[in-house]
Structure formats: structure tokens, C-alpha cells
Amino acid sequence: MTDRSVQYRTLDQGQVDEICRRHELLWSGRPGGARAAFTYCIMDGLNLSGRDLSDADFTGASLVGADLSGTVLNSASLYGADLRRACLAGASMRRADMRGAALRGANLQGADLSETDLREGTIAQVDKERGLTVVKHRSRPGEMTMANFQGANLSRSKMSGSTAQKADFTDAVLLGARMVRANLRATIFAGANLEGADMSGADLTDADMTDSVLIDTNLTMARLDNCDRTGALTDDPAGLEMRKLDRPVEEMIEDHIRWCATGGREGQPSSFDETDLRPLKSLAGKTLTAFHARGATLYGLDLEGAQLQGAKLERADLRMTCLRGADLRGADLTGARLNNADLRDCKLGPLLLDKDRLLPASLAAAKVRYSDLTGADLRHVKATGADFSYSSLYAADVRHALFSGSCFTGSRLSNNFLGDVDDAEGAVDLSAA
């Protein structure tokens, strides 16, 4: 049997464009299409951004410094690919095979890597004298040192045994991720959601896990020397426990609903300030006008369609909550945390108090990073100093809204955004959104 050692092939931009074009023809069902095969191709520094390369084969390819921002790579094979310093910001790599891929210094900000396999990979080398009778294997761990995963979705991804020293997972979603025995020394997980993640045996020495979500996170035998977990949300109560309130919470909620339904004639309003309300799981569709939950923990609650007009939710933890279609007119969410919340079609407009007096909703100084406000009513909202980084405000109604000093890094906005708002003075990265 003859020796068939790997032969690398260098492609130029024109050749890459043609292969991508034929791949897109295949996916659209038009004639002349062919699956993109970049196996062991050298494409360092080339532009593959914005393409749909689902199911393409990049096995062993070299893409050092390449631009793949916004590229769709779902179910693609990137086995053993060299992606050092590549830009994959906003790319979609759901269920991709990235075993043994080198991601040192790569930018994956806001990328979707859900169910992606980032474990170690094995590269087979043919023995020149014995053909294929003897195969040598070289194991290479998934190498993610100094990679930028800010805001990326890595839910149910596989990273066991990987090396991600000094990587940045700020605000990343790692629900159910497997990071067993991973090398995560000095890695940043600030604000990251690690609910249900398995980090058993991982090395988290000098890691930053401030304000992260560590609910049901397995840290058995993990090294936690000098690991900063200040402000982390864990299985332990975050504030006042519901069972320690004067009355059962369910009874208080029903009283509040009756108070709303009867215009105050029956029942009574409730107050859950500084209370951990996570055990409730759902308040979807409930009528809770003037609901008081300042500084409360409502992480992950289902509040879809809830009536929360005039609610007092200052400093509340509403991360990962579903507020789709909820009525929050006139609500005060000053300083609230709404990262990764679903706010599609919600009403955050003003509450009409009488014939000529409006009570605007407030998102002042709120953290609304990586959230979806598509189609939301934000008329007259006071959102000064808020952080909307990487959130979608597309098709949101922002007439007469105040966004002075707010941050819009990576946000998705409608074309008429600036023309509709009343004040955006000092807003950060608004022109680049």
C-alpha cells in the first residue's frame, strides 16, 4: 500500500469564493452545487464571513486570522482546524465538530456554539515505511487559551479535557456544558451562566466567577484556589427565603390578584422586596399590577404575558426570565439585571395615570445585555446609562425614549432608531450598532 501522507493545499480568495458559491447552490437545491470541502486547505487571513457553510468540511484546515464573522457553520466539521486569532464573532456553530481545534486568541463573541464538541481530537499520521499497517496518533486538546467567548452560547457543549487558560467567557451561556478536567486557570466567567454545567475535576485556579450563575453546577474535586465567586448565584437562598415570609407565597399572590381584579375592594397588595422567588418557577399570565419585588431574585422565572403595570423591580435579578408579551407599562426596573432575558413584544411604554399625566417605565442603569427586545414597546422609556450590548432592539418602538449615556455595543437596531428617540447624547457605540 502506498504512502498517502496529508498534503496541504493553499487556496486564494477567488477559489474560496467559488467553493462557497457552489456550497450555497447545493443548499438551495439549485444545479451546479457541491458540498464545500476545505480539508487540509490553507486559508489564513481569508474572508469567509456571512456565508452559509452548514455541514461543510474544514478537517485539519488552517484558518489563522481568517474572518468567519456571522458565518453559519452548523454541523460543520472543524476537526483539528487551526483557528488561532480567527474572527468568529456572531457565527453559528451549533452541533459542529471542533474536537482538537486550535482557538488561541480567536474572537467568538456572541457566537452560538450550542451542543458543539470542543474536546480533544486525535490526528492520525501514516507511517511512511509501513503504509497503513501502523498508525501513530497525536492527541491535541481543544486549545482555547485567551479566546474571546463573551456572550457566546455554549449550552450543552463538550469541553472536557480542553485547555482554556485566560479565556474570556464573560456573560456566556454554558447551560449543561461539560468541562470535566478542563484547564481553566485564570479564565474569566464573570456574569456567565453555568447552570447545570459539569466542571468536576477542572482547574479553576485564579478564575474570575464574579456574578456568575452556579445553580446545580458540579464542582466536585475542582481546584478553586483563589477563584473569585463574589456575587455568584448558587443553589443557596439569594435573599429572604419564601418559607420565612409571614404567609405562604401562593396565598399572597392570590390575594394580590384579587386586589387587582376588584380595584382594591378585596385582597391586598403583596411585597416581595429582597426575596428569592426562584421556587415559584412561573407567574405567566398573572395579573400583578403594582407588584413590589425590589432587589428580589426572579432568575429564570416564566413571566410571559404577566400584567406588571407599575411594578417596582429596582435592582431585581431578572436574568434568563421570559417576559415575552408582558405588560410593564410604568414599571421601575432601575438597576435591574435583565441579561439574556426574553423581552419580545413586551410593553415598556408609559402608564396613563389620568387624562394628561404619563408615568414612563424606567430601565435606567439596567443591564440588558444579550437580551431580545424585538418588537417591544419602549415609548418614553427612561433608559439612561443602561447597557444594551449585543441585544436586539429591532422593530422596537422607541419614540420619545431617553437613552443618554447607554451602551449599544453590538446591538441590533432599526434604521430609524436615532430619528425616533428624544435623547441619545453620550450613548456608546450607537453609530456602530
Residue 27 has pLDDT above 90, yes or no: no
**CATH topology identical between 1-168 and 237-433:** yes
What's the CATH number of domain 1-168, 3.30.70.1880, 3.40.1190.20, 3.20.20.30, 2.160.20.80? Answer: 2.160.20.80
The pLDDT of residue 4 is 53
Helix, coil or strand: residue 12: coil
What architecture is the 237-433 domain classified under in CATH?
3 Solenoid (2.160)
The DSSP-derived string for 325-344 is: T-B-TT-B-TT-B-TT-B-T
Name the residue with higher pLDDT: 2 or 170: 170
CA distance readout (Å), 399 to 72, 352, 382 = 34, 16, 11
Mean per-residue pLDDT of the chain: 91
Give the angle subtended at the CA of 311 by the CAs of 322 and 234, to the nearest 5°: 50
Cβ neighbors of 187 (< 8 A, separation 6 or more) are 164, 165, 166, 167, 168, 169, 204, 207, 208
Give the angle subtended at the CA of 167 by the CAs of 162 and 171, to the nearest 5°: 110
The pLDDT of residue 153 is 94
What residues does 203 pair with on adjacent strands?
Answer: 183, 223
Q: Please report, for the chain, the start and end positions of each structural domain, with discontinuous segments joined by +.
A: 1-168, 237-433
Rounded to whole angstroms, how far apart are CA atoms 179 and 192? 14
pLDDT, one tens digit per residue, over 391-432 is 999 999 999 999 999 999 989 999 899 999 999 999 998 876
As to burial, measured by CB atoms within 10 angstroms (0-12 exposed, 13-18 middle, 19+ buried), residue 80 is: buried
